[in-house]
Amino acid sequence: MPSEAISKASGMPPAPTAPQVKLARPPRRLASLKDAAAYQSCSVNTVERQVDNGDLPAYRLPGSRLVRVDLNELDALLDAAVIAPTAADR
């Protein structure tokens, strides 16, 4: 017997279906500090400094000593650091 028939027989409305939910942000792209340094063409010390200053969030994997950074957050940090050209540069 279909569930609608059972619902109609019991006098209860059919159960609503779950709405489709879109993700608010893209999935994380976690990378090691070494890989993040290569991604932005700098040294590992620079990435560590960005993490220490609070400019770049870092994540420690559960049960591990490994530290990872999200390349999406690194992209946002780099986009915010773009310098607008001045009149002298044109």
**Measured distance CA(65)–CA(63) in Å, rounded:** 7
Q: Tens digits of per-residue pLDDT, 66-90?
A: 999 999 999 999 988 877 776 666 6
Q: What is the pLDDT of residue 30?
A: 93
Structure tokens belonging to residue 33: 């500090």
> Are the C-beta atoms of residues 68 and 31 closer than 8 Å to each other?
yes
- Neighbour-count burial of 30, counting CB atoms closer than 10 A to its CB (0-12 exposed, 13-18 middle, 19+ buried): middle
Over range 26-45, report the average pLDDT.
94
Residue 18 has pLDDT above 80, yes or no: no
Least confident stretch, 18-27, 34-43, 65-74? 18-27
**Measured distance CA(78)–CA(50) in Å, rounded:** 11
> Are the C-beta atoms of residues 49 and 37 closer than 8 Å to each other?
no
